[in-house]
Homo-oligomer: A and B are copies of this chain.
């Protein structure tokens, strides 16, 4: 990290940060309808994450309906994890419609840089100006034009190593960048929010990263800024992940406990963990 990016670092957030508590209360009260075009591995988990926190997920994925539904939904998620020829067309139409209608949207560029087809589509999607880009270090490095070395969907670089690329990507695109890793970083190119916590076991349950993108989308309609939306989602995921790990016997019960925590955190509990 250069001295310049360090200077911009404007603090870290953990649960129960007052802004996050406030934003989460708004989310639960307003139950925003979130349009998810996501990968086939995580559709079920993503829907359950959104339902757990009180949002309303809807997976509308066909070319005939996608533009109409972007009009109806409060936010959109596009995740290219298992993109197909047909999906690409749907995603581009959804993103174009989101730009036209000022619907906030999150781009999750899974494995960008590793495979040409999705990389080309992601570049096109960027032109529709996502509100937030969420990715791991390899993906953010690839998007930022750095050498990625991505290995499938897992990141082989540390999130700190990719922070300069994240800042630059935010500056270039106007998007808030949510960089996931051992530490999460949220940046709009000016400020950098650091989010510690979570647990390494989260990398061994599919969909924890992808559903973070969905949760960011769910916060976008209820928070004042996209930085707050991405920060709130990351803070809640980190807290739920830490707590869930303490209750789990392995990766299966971790996934279950993670949904349990998301559905109960801050309700009927002391706000100091």
Which positions in A face B, CB cutoff 8 Å?
33, 39-45, 47-48, 51-52, 54, 56-65, 68-69, 72-73, 81-87, 111, 114-118, 151-154, 203-207, 248-253, 255-264
Contact = CB atoms under 8 A, between A and B. Distances in A.
Contact of A85 (B59, B62, B116, B258): B62
A83 B58 contact: no
B41 A44 contact: yes
Contacts of A259: 250-253, 255
Contacts of A43: 40-41, 82
Contact of A48 (B111, B151, B255): B255
A78 B138 CA distance: 27
Given A249-B264, A250-B261, 16 more contacts: A43-B82, A44-B45, A48-B255, A51-B204, A51-B206, A57-B152, A57-B206, A64-B85, A65-B116, A68-B116, A69-B115, A253-B256, A253-B257, A253-B259, A255-B256, A256-B256
